[in-house]
Structure 1
């Protein structure tokens, strides 16, 4: 998410102010691609990149998107998460090398209307993940790009991360701070919010965008999607071990 005019237009379309969504509830998964009046929609959880559907838009950055700008693919699916280190909001440091369990990385920004709309769902997601000792949650706050890193551009109308959480009515104990977009670029993020599922071996196993669109029960659906991927990987590893024996 090369040209200045294109970038500005995309940021506005991707992060227009959004009304607060209803409280998260729990549902069945919607398809990754939904045909509607304005073309196919890139929504839902994906575990591999497939050919974009007819009508997908190539915005000259190598990413095929739907009419709203959401990508149909994610470049790092099936690859090892790039190494990165960044400060955290509680004064610590986070490194990708710290990932030892299944992990969901939420890439977002307080400047982004779509991320703000996802806020209540993110809170519910983090609480659901906290119930699973083998699953972890990482919140990664990032700017739209490396040219938008002033406090106003990083945090929008809130001015700071603290004021955002105060207004949102929830908090995340430790947020990874990508204040210069270096992590965003390393992870090849083309849309916010984006959610990455990373396995204990550091491989990106799944990707999705906004939780606040399509599904009626996005948290339940996402947790189910994660469970299915974990089972598939576990079964694959068990099969490999059996073949060796």
Structure 2
């Protein structure tokens, strides 16, 4: 019984962050996913129902095409944050955690993204640092004592909201770290991807920005009568 419980816990953690080794699947979930995208027949679904490739990366996101739930918290730099600040602008939200090797592998790319967009008016960036779960909150920072220690060591300073107890993670139904969410001015999620370091593009950052630009060019807000009942 104990062995089964340990195995289940390990599988849950791997599904939240990453398995051992990369995927050889030609249809791996390594691209930018937009509302209505097809899920390959090769997708595997665990107890959470999330379709994943053989590395664990999701092919879908719970709120893709829907309005992102409201959340709030405190930034590393000190100010309070709420979802009202996302209104009437495009925002790329990146959910990550120092406990996760895939997140650490993406950290340089996140910093590069911040350098690219920090002075732009057409796209804002927000990262959310979160533990793997509420039960593992004390492991959120890995070998570091705090996010500030990691930033100081690496020379990073991208804007980061701190999810101390995984409550924001649960609210946003994040099934993987790192997760990249493109939020439209009407607060709907118009794009999703997992590990940027696994992107198919030669230049992952420029590839993601190109994907975002394509979505922005084609996007039109839904009329009230066309919105799903859960809006």
Q: TM-score, normalised by structure 2?
A: 0.85
Q: CA deviation at 1:6?
A: 2.7
**Structure 2 residues not aligned, in runs of 5+:** 224-231
The alpha-carbon deviation at position 39 of structure 1 amounts to 5.9
Aligned residues: 215
The alpha carbon displacement at 1:127 in A equals 1.2
Alpha-carbon shift at residue 11 of structure 1 (Å): 2.3
SS at the partner of 1:139? Answer: strand
Q: How does 1:145-160 map to 2 (within 5 A)?
A: 145-150=133-138, 153-160=139-146
Q: What whole-Å deviation, never above 9, does each CA across 1:63-87 have from its counterpart, x for those lacking one? A: 0111110001111011111011111
Which residue does the alignment assign to 2:11? 9
Cα deviation for residue 54 of structure 1 reads 2.2
How do 1:92-241 residues align onto structure 2 when only pairs under 5 Å count? 92-100=79-87, 101-150=89-138, 153-172=139-158, 174-213=159-198, 214-233=200-219, 236=220
Tell me whether 1:42 sits opposite 2:29 in the alignment.
yes
Q: In the aligned structure 1, how far is the partner of 2:46 from the partner of 2:18? A: 17
**Alpha-carbon spacing, 1:4–1:143, altered in 2? closer, same or farther (3 Å):** farther
| 1:58-69 mapped onto 2 (5 Å cutoff) | 58-69=45-56
Any stretches of 5+ residues in structure 1 without a counterpart? 19-35, 241-245
Is contact 2:53-2:59 (8 Å) kept? yes
Two-structure CA RMSD over aligned residues (Å): 2.3
Q: What TM-score, normalized to structure 1?
A: 0.81
Task: Give the distance between the partners of 2:177 and 2:57, measured in 1 at CA.
Answer: 9
Q: 2:64 aligns with which of 63, 77, 82?
A: 77
Asked if the contact 1:65/1:71 (under 8 Å) is kept, the reply is: yes
